[in-house]
Amino acid sequence: MDDTAFRETVNQAKLPGCSAMIVDRDGVRYSHASGERDAVAHKPMALDTKCQIASMTKAIVSVAAMQLVERGLLDLDAPIGDLLPDLADPQVLEGFADDGSPKLRPAVRPITLRHLLTHTAGLGYFFIHPEVLRYYGHVGMPVPGSKASIKMPLMFDPGDSWEYSVGTDWVGLAVEAASGKGLREYLAENVFQPLGMADTGFHDSPLPDGAAIHRRRGDGFAIEPMFLGGGEFDSGGGGLVSTAPDYARFLRMILRGGELDGARILTEESVAEMSRNQIGDIRAGYMGSSMPDLAAPFDNFPDQHTGWGLGFLINPEQGPAGRSPGSLAWAGIFNSYYWIDPTEGVAGVFVSQMAPFGDPGALESFAALERLAYS
């Protein structure tokens, strides 16, 4: 596989460091690591350098939820408030009074697990949605990593629209409630150990051998002290640390319909359900921004009416870098990205550690990786 164009793109992107892999159902087609995991202390990046995968956690926790659906311990369409009382009486934010207080009304229907998995519950993120940030400004900004940080009124009635959200954090709490185990314990026993993902897990503090989060400063980089673990709960929406090889094993499991190296963790039917558009004519994928220093507005495919499965963005048309219609994808806020193409039986993961999200160099490098996979 001639990776000259990919390596040239990475060099031109001037990233601090990155790791990347292309896989198919049978194994690894390509792997790459370059640069530094700490560009200030000049520590080299390796293929298996541990990185914060942030919202790439969501797909893994979605798989865990579907395992419990298979076992009859979770129900996709039952009111989730029966299991998670904090979601039992959802209120919709209709605006703000003159004194800044939020104007709320009861939601017309309950929140379900399907709503949470598809980001149609009405929840949001404070760094994406100005109305959520304004709400917190009135009631008090919650401590990062606290359960209060995922409690908020809804922006619309459940099922009526799509907005990227803390929904998968609540899915992680539902996994805990339904299984009787902590999320880190459940994932270790039911996902990471069966799949051989030995370097993936939740941690309470930054790892000394892990990659640092960088921000561009002139021609160089500064280190950002940003760590998404160690809070009041393990974040099912973004708390995992992993590596490119480990995440590639997860991608291969999805490509293989829920099985890898003889270990089946999901039925083919469940993987098919996760891979199917769940939101009808609603368009998914666009994210605005209330904090562009953390994440600028972003849209994977602005020219497509993208859908959403149970954990994945779905492109209905051919992707510009090669992926087939019906492929699955998402990303992590520190500029890590993946795609899964069930039609062609190929997937790829690109990991870097930079803020803000949507770095042009990282995005072009990821696109170059995808072009390499289909070359």
- Residue 35 corresponds to which tokens in the numbers above? 């640069």
Residue 5 tokens, joined: 């164009």
Structure tokens at 327: 């492929």
DSSP SS3 for 357: strand
Do 155 and 163 meet the contact criterion of CB atoms below 8 Å apart? yes
Please identify which of the residues 58, 125, 135, 275 carries the catalytic annotation: 58
DSSP state of 240: -
366, two tokens: 């990821």
Residue 55 catalytic?
Answer: yes
Residue 201 per-residue DSSP state: B
> Which of 201, 212, 205, 200 lies closest to 228, judged by CA?
205
The single residue of 50, 62, 149, 164 carrying the catalytic annotation is 164
Check if 181 is active-site: no
Distances (CA, A) of 229 to 196, 203, 226, 308, 338: 22, 6, 9, 26, 21
Instruction: Name the active-site residue from 55, 242, 352, 365.
Output: 55
Burial of 208 (0-12, 13-18, 19+ CB in 10 A): exposed
Planar angle of CA 172, 176, 178, nearest 5 degrees: 110
Q: Residue 210's closest CA among 52, 337, 334?
A: 52
Q: Are 235 and 166 in contact (CB under 8 A)?
A: no
151 is catalytic: no
Cis? peptide before 16, omega within 30° of 0? no
Active site residues: 55, 58, 164
